[in-house]
């Protein structure tokens, strides 16, 4: 590690120099005042105490007075200087300790060690506040670094499967092992679609995480919003023989229809993916607390354990890792859906009584511009 110590007077030297300067100035002032006022005053006192003005003792007494004054002032200055040195040493010690700790920790952080933290006690509220802010900064840096690392490894992981599939098929085609037919074309198309979708989702996720998701809200009739989302998925529900029911009150919501369509699409696709044939998915729309509207999507599918529930809104989290990894999405859908709900000033929560007990997702949205509050 390079030592970036900056040349110049140290804190202790500067403190002591300042104190010494103040002391010398006050002793000089005292000496000057004593030299101007002291002798005439002393002379008057001598005369008042019965000495004749031309007494030969007077010059002696006055000389003794002058030298006694000079000696006391010099001794006073010396004692004060020694005291100042002691005080400076003590105060500097109290300040330098924490400053050295802060410097050492800042150096550790600059080399990428984000675990560095400082504890400062007994150095006054200012240094304690500085240490507190420093620790907060270190914590924030550490979590940003963590997110970056996780994002990169998740991303590499996500890219690996489609790229490997594409490679295998392309090699097979080149070697003549794989035939070019509809199935091959579909596989290749599916993988490139997956990559394309990943790029779009990643863009949305990074916008959401930086709070840059753009929404253009307007007053929308809830039944229309829901029926348009349902019409997009009806065919796939029918194909899997999962019943799709809706019970939407005649309400209005203050939302961006495109964005909420994206959220509903994801929730309905999830419900279908996790509900076996013969199951049922119901969407209900009701007045929510305050001036809000809640949309609840309930399914009779495989449900979630409390462990899964705690993670489903995390980026790239997929509960069913082993079961049907390739069929499943990339685990970004709910992260984006929650960010969109929050960008509207609403919320998205999940609930499940456990594995094979079904799941329900509740989307809360503002009913009017007045109840719309930015998070």
Ligand X SMILES: Nc1ncnc2c1ncn2[C@@H]1O[C@H](COP(=O)(O)OP(=O)(O)OP(=O)(O)O)[C@@H](O)[C@H]1O
Site for ligand X in 247-266 (CB under 6 A): 266
* Residue 71 token pair: 């000696």
Candidates 37-45, 118-126, 323-331, 344-352; binding stretch for Mg ion (CB under 5 A):
323-331
Q: Is 136 helix (H, G, I), strand (E, B) or coil?
A: helix
Among 19, 101, 191, 270, binds Mg ion (CB under 5 A): 270
Q: Which listed option, Mg ion, ligand X, none, makes contact with residue 319 (CB within 5 to 8 Å by class)?
A: ligand X
Q: Least Å distance between CB 267 and Mg ion?
A: 8
Cα gap 363→266, rounded to integer Å: 12
Per-residue contact flags (x/-) with ligand X for residues 47 to 76, judged by CB under 6 A: ------------------------------
H helix or E strand, kind and range, residue 21:
helix 11-48
Among residue numbers 312 through 341, which ones bind ligand X (CB under 6 A)?
312, 317-320, 328-335
Largest CA distance in the chain: 136
Task: Count the residues of the shown chain that bind ligand X, applying the rule CB under 6 A.
Answer: 24
Q: Which of ligand X, Mg ion, none has residue 312 at its interface (CB below 5 to 8 Å by kind)?
A: ligand X
Taking CB under 5 A as the binding criterion, the range among 44-52, 201-209, 239-247, 263-271 that sits at the site for Mg ion is 263-271
On the CB side of 219, how many CA atoms lie within 13 Å of its CA?
A: 7
Per-residue tokens: 96: 């330098």
* Cβ-contact 207, 201 below 8 angstroms: no
Interface with Mg ion: number of residues (CB under 5 A): 4
User: Any contact of residue 333 with Mg ion (CB under 5 A)?
Assistant: yes
Placement of tokens 């004749």 in the chain: 52
Report the residue from 15, 271, 283, 295 that binds ligand X according to the rule CB under 6 A. 271
Partner whose binding site includes residue 116, from ligand X, Mg ion, none (CB under 5 to 8 Å by kind): none
Q: Closest by alpha carbon to 208, among 345, 337, 365? A: 337
- Cβ proximity to ligand X: between 338 and 372 the closer is 338
Q: How far is the CB of 129 from Mg ion (least distance, A)?
A: 45
Cα separation, 274 vs 361, in Å, equals 13
CA distance 362 to 375: 18
Sequence-distant (≥ 6) Cβ neighbours of residue 369 within 8 angstroms: 217, 219, 254
Binding site for ligand X (CB under 6 A): 266, 270-271, 274, 299, 301-304, 308, 312, 317-320, 328-335, 359
Give residues in contact with Mg ion (CB under 5 A): 266, 270, 329, 333
């Amino acid at each position: 590690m390079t030592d970036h110590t900056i040349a110049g007077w140290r804190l202790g030297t500067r403190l002591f120099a300042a104190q010494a300067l103040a002391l010398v100035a006050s002793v000089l002032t005292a000496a000057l005042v004593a030299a101007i006022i002291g002798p005439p005053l002393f002379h008057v006192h001598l005369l008042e105490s019965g000495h004749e003005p031309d007494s030969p003792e007077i010059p002696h007494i006055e000389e003794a007075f002058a030298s006694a004054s000079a000696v006391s002032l010099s001794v006073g200055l010396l004692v004060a200087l020694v005291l100042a040195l002691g005080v400076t040493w003590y105060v500097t010690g109290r300040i330098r300790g924490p400053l050295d700790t802060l410097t050492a920790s800042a150096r550790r952080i600059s080399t990428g060690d984000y675990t560095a933290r400082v504890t400062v006690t007994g150095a006054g509220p200012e240094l304690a506040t500085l240490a507190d802010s420093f620790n907060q900064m270190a914590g924030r840096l550490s979590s940003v670094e963590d997110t970056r690392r996780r994002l990169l490894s998740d991303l590499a992981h996500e890219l690996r499967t489609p790229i490997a599939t594409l490679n295998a098929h392309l090699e097979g085609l080149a070697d003549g092992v794989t035939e070019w037919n509809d199935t091959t074309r579909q596989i290749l198309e599916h993988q490139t679609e997956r990559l394309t979708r990943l790029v779009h989702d990643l863009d949305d996720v990074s916008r959401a995480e930086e709070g840059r998701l753009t929404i253009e809200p307007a007053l929308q009739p809830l039944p229309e919003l829901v029926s348009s989302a349902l019409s997009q998925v009806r065919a796939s529900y029918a194909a899997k023989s999962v019943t799709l029911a809706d019970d939407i009150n005649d309400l209005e919501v203050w939302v961006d229809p495109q964005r909420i369509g994206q959220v509903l699409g994801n929730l309905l696709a999830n419900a279908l993916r996790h509900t076996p044939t013969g199951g049922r998915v119901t969407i209900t729309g009701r007045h929510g607390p305050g001036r809000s509207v809640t949309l609840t999507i309930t399914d009779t599918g495989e449900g979630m354990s409390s462990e899964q529930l705690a993670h489903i809104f995390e980026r790239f989290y997929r509960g069913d890792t082993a079961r049907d990894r390739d069929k499943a999405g990339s685990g970004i859908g709910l992260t984006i859906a929650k960010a969109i709900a929050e960008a509207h000033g609403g919320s998205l929560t999940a609930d499940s009584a456990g594995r094979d007990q079904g799941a329900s997702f509740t989307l809360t949205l503002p009913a009017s511009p007045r109840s719309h509050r930015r998070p």
